[in-house]
Amino acid sequence: MTFTRRSVIPAVLIAGAAVAFFLREGPPRAAPPEGGAAIIAFGDSLVEGRGTTAGGDFVSVLSKRLRVRIVNAGRSGDTTRSALERLDRDVLSRNPRIVLVLLGGNDALRRVPARDTFGNLGTIVERIRARGAAVVLIGISPGVFSDPYADEYEQLARRTAAGLVPDILDGIFGRADLMADTIHPNDRGHQLIADRVEPVLRELLAAGR
């Protein structure tokens, strides 16, 4: 078999792409907590558990699986701006150790510019991290066929040493068997959310012991 320059170059490019695929970094991992006591889930109706039965929300599911108390600081309708306004009262005043942050969906519904959304999110994460608490960002995509927030969440997580669980509703949103309505997952959907968050939270709990 004779190799020409034309045949070798594409082969090299394909090989390089394959190596890059297998060596690419996974989602950012959170720096372990340096102090604090409370484990808190902070966010909007997805955290609050709208659309689930009592105990069916992912925060309650995680609490039961991991046998730890998790404060549910979710509030339906919260944007990143309104969440920032209650950060002191609902998170920082509770001596946080690990904080799950799930925000951004209502910003997208209200067409808040991404720069404002992630400016607010950045302030939230930075203020929590300044207390020595670990942060896990839980991403949400406002897109149907692509995720316009994906890079923003990843950049923020890497800049602040936060963990990231990307696009938490991927494979859940739009499935009638997993949704309580057009926006909120049902108990089965929240079980899947818990499945995705559990390994990250379990790792932080182990690191903080």
Q: Kindly report, residue by residue over 10-53, the tens digit of the pLDDT.
A: 444 444 443 333 334 688 899 999 999 999 999 999 999 999 99
Q: Which of 23-37, 91-105, 108-122 has the lowest average pLDDT?
A: 23-37
CATH fold of 30-207, please? Rossmann fold (3.40.50)
Which pLDDT does position 95 carry in this prediction?
Answer: 98
Can you tell me the mean pLDDT for 178-198?
Answer: 97
DSSP secondary structure of the chain:
-PPPHHHHHHHHHHHHHHHHHHH---S--PPPP-S--EEEEEESHHHHTTTS-TT-SHHHHHHHHHT--EEEEE-TT--HHHHHHTHHHHTGGG-EEEEEEE--HHHHHTT--HHHHHHHHHHHHHHHHHTT-EEEEE-----SSS-TTHHHHHHHHHHHT-EEE--TTTTTTT-TTTBSSSSSB-HHHHHHHHHHHHHHHHHHHHHT-
Nearest to 167 by CA among 203, 137, 189: 137
Greater confidence (13 vs 91) lies with 91
Can you tell me the mean pLDDT for 183-193?
Answer: 97
Delimit the domains of the chain by residue range. 30-207
Which pLDDT does position 148 carry in this prediction?
Answer: 81
